[in-house]
Amino acid sequence: MDPAKLLRYVVVSLAAVSVSLSSMHGAVLAAYHAEPVTEGGSILAPDQLDANWGRLGNGASQVTPVWDAGGVAAWRIDNLSPADNGATTNYRMNLNAADLSSPEGWTATAVLRVPLAPGDGANVSININDGISGWRVGLYNNSADGSWLYRMGTADTLIVKLAEVDLSGYVTLQIYFDHDDQTMQVFLNGQAIGAPVARSGVYTVPTNRVNLIWGDADASPRPYRTDSYWHSVELVTGYAVIPEPHALSLLAAGGLGWLGLAYRRKKREAL
């Protein structure tokens, strides 16, 4: 199998494992999964997504359920009309402030792909507002500046670059909020990126703004389209960061080693 395709499967599978184990970490506060609903391969229609999430933005971006490369089910959010500058679509689920005050903290996870869109640009984000601060991280991809993981700083228009990243396939973007330290740590594919960020390093929000928002983050008047594929989005209480692919491969190699040793012992006993 092609290494890039294998890595994509690993990343998406790890996220699925993380999602399936999330109940071990506490309540699922908000969840959406772009996945088939019938054995025939049909996918949720856009209006079914809207029924579970409030739709934001000017609605000019198209939202389409698709089978993406590698057989991954996803919601595609894109603006096909370069003339429609500032086209944007986001989805929001309102929460209670108490949902985000668990002593275990919380973890937000998005599994997505952000290709370089025709017209040379793409920008997406996931944003958790807790009635005090806005914890927002995102990914953007353009040929002039490259592909970057970023967070928003002390203003909701201030981009702080965290790392240049490979966006050729699906990635798992996560935020873990440590309740004790009141800090946010950003993860990409299970790897911590940058240092933890305190409330003083992000922007403030009104007390009634308590929600999870994800989707298109490019509402500026520029004549290019945005494009993104969202496989899943979830917010759970507790620490639910996926393991790094490297760590997983070491565990897998170790497991295969133990299986081989057990097989050889069993074979010797049979002689």
Q: What is the pLDDT of residue 75?
A: 85
| Within-domain flag for 97 | yes
| Within-domain flag for 270 | no
CA distance 150 to 115: 16
For residue 162, give both structure tokens: 């965290």
CA distance 241 to 196: 14
**Could you tell me how far CA 24 lies from the centroid of its own chain?**
20
* Pairing label, strands 123-130, 210-216: antiparallel
pTM of the predicted protein model: 0.78
**157 Cβ partners below 8 Å, 6+ apart?**
none
CA distances to 55, 92, 197, 214 from 51, in Å: 9, 11, 34, 15
How many domains does one find in the chain?
Answer: 1
CATH number of domain containing 180 = 2.60.120.200
CA distance 120 to 144: 8
Q: What is the pLDDT of residue 35?
A: 57
| Within-domain flag for 252 | no
| Within-domain flag for 258 | no
Q: Cβ(127)–Cβ(233) under 8 Å? A: no
- What pLDDT digit, counting tens, does each position of 59-111 carry? 556 677 788 887 788 888 876 555 555 667 788 889 988 889 999 999 999 99
| Within-domain flag for 187 | yes
Q: What is the pLDDT of residue 162?
A: 95
CA distance 103 to 216: 31
| Within-domain flag for 271 | no
For residue 163, give both structure tokens: 């790392």
Which parts of the chain register pLDDT below 50? 4, 7-11, 14, 17-24, 36-39, 246-259, 261-263, 267
Q: Which amino acid is at 123?
A: N
Phi, psi (rounded to 5 degrees) for 25: -100, -5
| Within-domain flag for 256 | no
Domain ranges, residue 136:
3-240
Q: What is the pLDDT of residue 140?
A: 84
Q: What is the pLDDT of residue 70?
A: 78
Q: Residue 212 in 3-state DSSP?
A: strand
CA distance 61 to 5: 28
Q: Which amino acid is at 266?
A: K
CA distance 59 to 63: 9
Q: Which amino acid is at 224?
A: Y
CA distance 187 to 143: 24
| Within-domain flag for 259 | no
